[in-house]
Structure 1
Amino acid sequence: MNDLSQLSTSAKGRSLLPSPEQRERLRRKRTLRDNASRYGIGAAGIGVVIALGMIFVYLFSEVMPLFKSAQVSTEQTYAIPGVAGSETLEHLTIDRHDTLGASFTDTGRITFFELEGGAIRSSFEMPRPDDAAQSAFATGFATTGAFAYGYDNGEISLGQVEYAITYPDNQRHIEPQLTFPLGEAPLPLDEAGRAIRVLGLQLGDRGIYAAAELEDGSLTVTSFERRENIMTGEVSIEQTTAELPGFDGRARQILIDNRFRHLYVSDDGGAIHHYDIGNLRAPEYRGAVRVTEEGGVAKMALLNGTVSIIAGTTDGQVRQYFPVRDAQNQYDLTHIRDFARYEAPITHIEAEYTRRGFLVGDARGNLGIHHATAGADVFDAPKTEGPLARIAISPVNSLALLVDESQRLQVASVSNRHPDISISSLWQKVWYEGSSEPRYVWQSSAGGDEFEPKMSLVPLTLGTLKAAFYAMLFATPLALMGAIYTAYFMSPKLRGKVKPTIEVMEALPTVILGFLAGLWLAPFVENRLPAVFSLLLMMPIAMLAFAYLWSRLPTALRTRVPDGWEAVLLIPVIVLVGWACVTASPHVEILFFDGSLRQWLTDNGINYDQRNALVVGIAMGFAVIPTIFSIAEDAVFNVPKHLTQGSLALGATRWQTVVGVVLPTASVGMFSAVMMGFGRAVGETMIVLMATGNSPIMNFNIFEGMRTLSANIAVEMTEAAVGSSHFRVLFLAALVLLAMTFVVNTLAEIIRQRLRKRYGNL
């Protein structure tokens, strides 16, 4: 005991060991620090999970309105203003500010009324020929505001609705006007004075076209061109008339596209007849398509752009058609898609002004809203007790007028923000107008309202995978092999220089890599394609040949190079082979490819773009290599020494030890490195933005570019209108990108855990 007490005290009588009170105080401090670390790290981890969850929640909040169903709510009901009991309503319109409505009767009266309450604002009478009765009515596409009355003496009266907007006392005032593009006097459509039975009308940049079926069943089409003499101011109307080939049966409706190329006539036998009127002097009958076998074509309507026809039948079918170019460069009317079938005959079809959407009414009073591009049925509900006789939709798609058989008018609010987006339009092939077949296309905007947006995410997703694939194809072998050699074979001193140098590469801004790839690497690769392929082939051969020659040198000579420094000797070989391949490139092209490898590829059906996946793979590969190399090198270097030393002691060579011991043990870390590099490649933006050409194409051709999800978001987000379908689809693209990385990382973690469990006992 005396010895122990002497050991616990110093020569001066002070204790060398902490006192019990001091030990208890130190224990409390250590416990406090442990708890602070444990709870702090836990809170940080939970914060990361919450932040990730909030990102998902925010993206979902922006995306979910895309798939929200349409809503139609009746706000007011009253008798149609301006329509007497003995009159028939021919047409209804709404102004773009949802303030005024207009009713057109068979007597030629146009009445403008307040949508709020139905008070009449003004009324106009169309000029009509003396002793003539109205026999037909037609409208141009809704955006033109044009309409025409046909009479039983072969004449027509053409009018156009316009709205003058003024701001007295800073209050908007809308004044409706009735104008006459061809003058107020009725114009003869048939010189023989035969009654017009069915009338078709269209206005376009090239003039005005009117077509009619006359009382004897003949078909005629007339173009009107207004000419004004600059000197005298005299206005003249030039008419060109052509007779169209007839068909068996009588016409029900006539439609003309606004390019004056195609004319369509529905008959009472369930068919639509197609005429090519591009050359009015020699119109051509292109044939007929059978819409239904059990009834007739009740109604037709042209969609925005006047390319597609929506046909509704007496047996409740709703179908879309448009002309498709054949191998002989001729257009044939083709059935594209069907929509939800109604249980009663179709009574009216009304197209939206600026979208490929349309409204359908049937004889049971059901209202349906559909969209052609999305192939979607977005709304279906009964709105009237009897047949739904007439429908009008506002230019901004926020208000609808519904008329039943008793001439009662419903004013209904419409909420239908994104009918053009559906699961099928995003992820399946869509048959777009002007295409010969269904395709995957991304083309979100163009110069006019007639453009049909094409927002398939498939080309962008494929482009993302394509860019990541070629980047990983370039980076993975170099990074992993470099990591193995650096960690296991290289001398510590050389490793201390190489590893930090490669890791510093990761700090290089990707915008610099993209800039160099787009402005220097892409032209270099294009002008020296043989050199690129020669390098891929000759560089490994040269390195293996040098290694073989090195192994055959005398031992005394090889020992002069310190162990682990052999890689330095490869630098001159790499430089020499690279210089030789680049120098020989023009001669190789002259000898084997008629002077241009790029032209040779084009002649053999392989497209070559200057900014392509090859350039992206090289440039993005250099951005990914540091990530993979650093993690993989640490994993290999941290393999326990007793494992490698034991393997060598049992007689294995260094390479046998690497293959049998080091790689299985380090496989978990190496796999994690590859997955981290893949995640970096998937999310890369600036390199693919500057070095790919940004073309959303559907192939894995290494000589063509691509457009990735991230690059597309960077390019188009600043141009997208907030809250628009385009805007929300870009958020959906971000959600898809996030989901892709989340799924890949989850699978990687599962595989990593299995590898750790398998090799954890080594």
Structure 2
Amino acid sequence: MYQKTIENSPGVDFNTPALRRKRSLRFLKDNLARWAVAVGGLGVIAAITLIFFYLLYEVAPLFKGAAVTPQSTWTQGVDQDNPSLYMSMEEQGEIALSINRSGVLDFRSTRTGDNNSQFFLPLPAGTEVTTLTSDPANSSLMVAGLSNGQAVVFKVVYKTSWPDDQRVITPVVEYPYGKKLLTLSDTRLSEITLADNDRQLFIAAISSGRLVATAFSKEENFLTEEVTLEQQTVTLPAIPGTPEQLKIDPDQRWLFVRMAGDEMAIINVANLDQLFLHSVTDLTVGDANITDIEFLLGGVSLLAGDSSGLISQWFMVRDDQNQWSLQRVRDFKLMDSPITIIKPEHRRKGFIAADKEGNVGVFYTAAGRALIREKLSAGGINQMAISPRSNYLLVDGQEGVEFFRVENEHPEVSFSALWQKVWYEGYEEPEYIWQSSASNNDFEPKLSLTPLSFGTLKAAFYAMLLATPLAIAGAIYTAYFMAPGMRRKVKPMIELMEALPTVILGFLAGLWLAPLIENNLPGIFALLLFVPVGILLFAFLWDSLPGKIRHAIPEGWQAALLIPVVLFSGAVAFSMNGVLEATFFAGDMRTWLTSELGIPYDQRNALVVGLAMGFAVIPSIFSIAEDAIFSVPKHLSYGSLALGATPWQTLIRVVLLTASPGIFSAVMIGMGRAVGETMIVLMATGNTPIMDANIFEGMRTLAANIAVEMPESEVGSSHYRILFLAALVLFLFTFVVNTAAEVVRHRLRKKYSSL
């Protein structure tokens, strides 16, 4: 039809070769542009989809369930008449150690049960090992209690060599304090515990139903580095029950004594000259009795298993009056049979437990999870051991010793650990905490994403609080009231602000703006009063001037007169800083906030972030909102004015309503920019993951946390994958916000398109 119209047009020949070539070239360009736009759009969608699925790929292993896989079973060397008192494995899970009552340290292959080597404890004739335990802070240091009331302290070390490029692991038994036996009592020791530090070695035991303890102060020869022990007998206070099991914490402060039944006596042994019974705590619910207690890694938390199959976690908590008490933190349920064995993991805050019926469970404390519950033996289990890497498990059961592979890479992760309050060791109550690393091996990872998400929203809120009104008000004036000549200069200058690298803004905010605000805090808040008052006062004075003077300024250029007014008002506000601080805040507003209002002040805080990031977000909101307002058809404005509406009425009731979809999109895009900002919040805040809405406190955002911790995280670790989970949360948050914004924008466009 179009072609016939062109051909039939009178007086014009549209079919000349030149015009035909021009039309063909134009059609080719249109098609190329159409395809380029389509391919580009599909490429963006494909890239975003691939990013989403890559994040899922990295995050998915966090939620993979744990599993136990049988590897081998062996019976050789298992003496049912002389069962093991203790079992363990070395780092690689290749050699198993078992210690029996005869004092034999038997090292065997975990896969085949073949003998590797044997060592013998220096036991006097006619004695046997009656009890054995390891130091909660150093599992390689052990003490064996004997039937004659003596004890021997020894250490198992595994030395690795590489002859002919083949790894050879050689177990060695060492005696750090010599082979001389330590005398604790003159009768049989039924339970024993020890704690060793640089100052002293403390050993406590139960002998014939009574508590005995001995402390050995250490003296080191500076020439030979040989350590000698000086024994000091310790008299423990009486307890209201029969002792059955005891544990001492690595700091040698608390001695926990399990008594017959369901009670725990806690003795303060920090000062050997003033020992006293601190308290007695009931550890069970109902009629259940405690069957076993064991320290978690680090010796802070105590695990108590009872006859109902329940395992409870306890640790000492200090209240507001600086009083210590043993608090029940959380419970874990294996089955309904009595718990017989509890073994902590060597490098994580997890543990394994077995009951009387041969059921075995794998648990993780901070996550509050039961990762595995399986029946691994037909009957009772004599001993268990888990490898230092927590990837192998040995079970000495009715059928012999069974060797299992454990797949449990990320036990720290659960919904409660990521998003709910968790009661961590050393804290007085449950809290939201992010602390992914520390200097010691006993550290309990705290991986809550809640403070990071809170910090992200906090930073975005204060940035948008500054940027949104300034950007939208500026866009309204520039598009609706400003003269075209001035608009052509102002709009590009504001948009040029967006090209400033955010790392520069963060650098300036951290090193220049933060100290400036700290030293001129009253002046900063005075700006909020002086600048608006100055503008209103100038407007009143301007309106009072004769028309001849006012009309000398071209219409739409009056905004230029406000530049010196704003600068002068700001200068006056800053000049009043000292007077305001001395008059209202006793000479120091920062100290006054802390002492009088209880509001802490950090130099790099949300106020600094709001100003710096608001400055970075303003161009994005301004440019899009200004285009939306300027694009409102002029006939709508002219029609409104022709019907008698004032310019302000036209702006509010016609222009802004028509442009509202674009303005809303501008705000949402600015919000997305603020949420995803990294460098400004990284450099301009204390980068502390706390949950506090205080504008004078810092925060840590999801994006900044990823930037800080990703380079130092171990690839494939829980920390590494949780950082990817944080990225996925940020991605989904942005996606949800943008989707909701698009829905609202379409509804606004549909509602006001008929104006």
Instruction: Give me the TM-score of the superposition, normalised by structure 2.
Output: 0.95
Distance in 2 (alpha carbons) for counterparts of 1:487 and 1:203: 76
Distance in 2 (alpha carbons) for counterparts of 1:232 and 1:497: 82
Distance in 2 (alpha carbons) for counterparts of 1:384 and 1:476: 66
- Please state whether the residue corresponding to 1:361 is helix, strand or coil: strand
Q: Which residue of 1 aligns with 2:652?
A: 659
Q: Which residue of 2 aligns with 1:79?
A: 75
**In the TM superposition, what are the counterparts of 1:432-443 in structure 2 within 5 Å?**
432-443=424-435
8 Å CA contact 2:85, 2:131 repeated in 1: no
The one of 172, 182, 187 aligned to 1:194 = 187
Residue 89 in 1 paired to residue 111 in 2?
Answer: no
Distance in 1 (alpha carbons) for counterparts of 2:714 and 2:102: 44
The one of 518, 521, 525 aligned to 2:510 = 518
Distance in 1 (alpha carbons) for counterparts of 2:724 and 2:647: 52
Distance in 2 (alpha carbons) for counterparts of 1:459 and 1:635: 36
The one of 583, 587, 604 aligned to 2:579 = 587
Q: Deviations over 1:685-721 (max 9, x none)?
A: 0000000110111011101110000000000000001
Deviation at 1:742, TM superposition (A): 0.5
8 Å CA contact 2:453, 2:702 repeated in 1: yes
The one of 321, 330, 333 aligned to 2:323 = 330
Q: 1:227 to 1:538 in 2, by over 3 A?
A: same
Deviation at 1:656, TM superposition (A): 1.4
Q: Which residue of 1 aligns with 2:13?
A: 16
- Please state whether the residue corresponding to 2:396 is helix, strand or coil: strand
Deviation at 1:244, TM superposition (A): 2.1
Residue 599 in 1 paired to residue 591 in 2?
Answer: yes
Deviation at 1:532, TM superposition (A): 0.5
8 Å CA contact 2:472, 2:625 repeated in 1: yes
Q: Which residue of 2 aligns with 1:146?
A: 141
Distance in 1 (alpha carbons) for counterparts of 2:549 and 2:178: 104
Distance in 2 (alpha carbons) for counterparts of 1:32 and 1:629: 37
Deviation at 1:225, TM superposition (A): 3.1
Deviation at 1:507, TM superposition (A): 0.2
Distance in 2 (alpha carbons) for counterparts of 1:426 and 1:579: 48
Q: Which residue of 2 aligns with 1:494?
A: 486
**In the TM superposition, what are the counterparts of 1:681-692 in structure 2 within 5 Å?**
681-692=674-685
Q: Which residue of 2 aligns with 1:623?
A: 616
- Please state whether the residue corresponding to 2:382 is helix, strand or coil: strand
Q: Which residue of 2 aligns with 1:728?
A: 721
Deviation at 1:223, TM superposition (A): 1.9
Distance in 1 (alpha carbons) for counterparts of 2:198 and 2:661: 67
Q: 1:205 to 1:423 in 2, by over 3 A?
A: farther
**Letter of the structure 2 residue corresponding to residue 345 of structure 1:** P
Distance in 1 (alpha carbons) for counterparts of 2:224 and 2:666: 83
- Which stretches in structure 1 are left out of the alignment for 5+ residues? none
**In the TM superposition, what are the counterparts of 1:170-249 in structure 2 within 5 Å?**
170-190=165-185, 193-215=186-208, 217-230=209-222, 236-249=228-241
Deviation at 1:90, TM superposition (A): 0.3
The one of 337, 348, 351 aligned to 2:344 = 351
Distance in 1 (alpha carbons) for counterparts of 2:496 and 2:156: 69
Distance in 2 (alpha carbons) for counterparts of 1:358 and 1:223: 29
- Please state whether the residue corresponding to 1:698 is helix, strand or coil: coil
8 Å CA contact 1:376, 1:422 repeated in 2: yes
Distance in 2 (alpha carbons) for counterparts of 1:177 and 1:638: 83
Q: 1:322 to 1:64 in 2, by over 3 A?
A: same
Q: Which residue of 2 aligns with 1:44?
A: 40
Range that drifts further, 133-142 or 390-399 = 133-142
8 Å CA contact 1:631, 1:669 repeated in 2: yes
8 Å CA contact 2:360, 2:374 repeated in 1: yes
Residue 128 in 1 paired to residue 120 in 2?
Answer: no
Distance in 2 (alpha carbons) for counterparts of 1:661 and 1:319: 67
Distance in 2 (alpha carbons) for counterparts of 1:273 and 1:430: 27
8 Å CA contact 1:367, 1:382 repeated in 2: yes
8 Å CA contact 1:161, 1:179 repeated in 2: yes
Distance in 2 (alpha carbons) for counterparts of 1:366 and 1:494: 81
- Please state whether the residue corresponding to 2:367 is helix, strand or coil: coil
Q: 1:560 to 1:364 in 2, by over 3 A?
A: same
Distance in 2 (alpha carbons) for counterparts of 1:594 and 1:241: 59
Deviation at 1:277, TM superposition (A): 1.3
**In the TM superposition, what are the counterparts of 1:100-499 in structure 2 within 5 Å?**
100-141=95-136, 143-190=138-185, 193-215=186-208, 217-230=209-222, 236-292=228-284, 293-405=286-398, 408-499=400-491
8 Å CA contact 2:145, 2:189 repeated in 1: yes
Deviation at 1:601, TM superposition (A): 0.5
Deviation at 1:727, TM superposition (A): 0.4
Distance in 1 (alpha carbons) for counterparts of 2:262 and 2:467: 62
Deviation at 1:402, TM superposition (A): 0.7
- Please state whether the residue corresponding to 1:194 is helix, strand or coil: coil
Distance in 2 (alpha carbons) for counterparts of 1:527 and 1:639: 46
Distance in 1 (alpha carbons) for counterparts of 2:258 and 2:606: 50
Q: Which residue of 2 aligns with 1:53?
A: 49
Distance in 1 (alpha carbons) for counterparts of 2:511 and 2:32: 52
Q: 1:233 to 1:374 in 2, by over 3 A?
A: closer
Instruction: Give me the TM-score of the superposition, normalised by structure 1.
Output: 0.95
Distance in 2 (alpha carbons) for counterparts of 1:234 and 1:39: 82
Q: Which residue of 2 aligns with 1:745?
A: 738
Deviation at 1:25, TM superposition (A): 8.5
Distance in 2 (alpha carbons) for counterparts of 1:7 and 1:107: 116
Q: Which residue of 2 aligns with 1:578?
A: 570
8 Å CA contact 2:334, 2:373 repeated in 1: no
Q: 1:680 to 1:369 in 2, by over 3 A?
A: same
Range that drifts further, 546-555 or 86-95 = 546-555
**In the TM superposition, what are the counterparts of 1:540-555 in structure 2 within 5 Å?**
540-555=532-547
Range that drifts further, 179-188 or 683-692 = 179-188
Range that drifts further, 506-515 or 537-546 = 537-546
- Please state whether the residue corresponding to 1:722 is helix, strand or coil: coil
Q: 1:235 to 1:519 in 2, by over 3 A?
A: closer
Q: Deviations over 1:440-463 (max 9, x none)?
A: 011110111111111100000000
Deviation at 1:142, TM superposition (A): 7.5
Q: 1:207 to 1:112 in 2, by over 3 A?
A: farther
> How large is the RMSD of aligned CA atoms in angstroms?
2.2
8 Å CA contact 1:320, 1:336 repeated in 2: yes
Q: Which residue of 2 aligns with 1:558?
A: 550
- Please state whether the residue corresponding to 1:549 is helix, strand or coil: helix
Distance in 1 (alpha carbons) for counterparts of 2:177 and 2:526: 71
Deviation at 1:214, TM superposition (A): 1.8
Q: 1:381 to 1:220 in 2, by over 3 A?
A: same
- How many residues align? The count is 748
Q: Deviations over 1:456-480 (max 9, x none)?
A: 0000000000000000000001000
Residue 65 in 1 paired to residue 58 in 2?
Answer: no
Deviation at 1:413, TM superposition (A): 0.8
**Letter of the structure 2 residue corresponding to residue 413 of structure 1:** R
**Letter of the structure 2 residue corresponding to residue 74 of structure 1:** P
Deviation at 1:289, TM superposition (A): 2.1
8 Å CA contact 2:677, 2:703 repeated in 1: yes
Deviation at 1:222, TM superposition (A): 1.8
- Please state whether the residue corresponding to 1:336 is helix, strand or coil: strand
8 Å CA contact 1:369, 1:377 repeated in 2: yes
8 Å CA contact 1:370, 1:379 repeated in 2: yes
Q: Which residue of 1 aligns with 2:604?
A: 611
Q: 1:154 to 1:24 in 2, by over 3 A?
A: same
8 Å CA contact 1:299, 1:312 repeated in 2: yes
Deviation at 1:587, TM superposition (A): 1.7
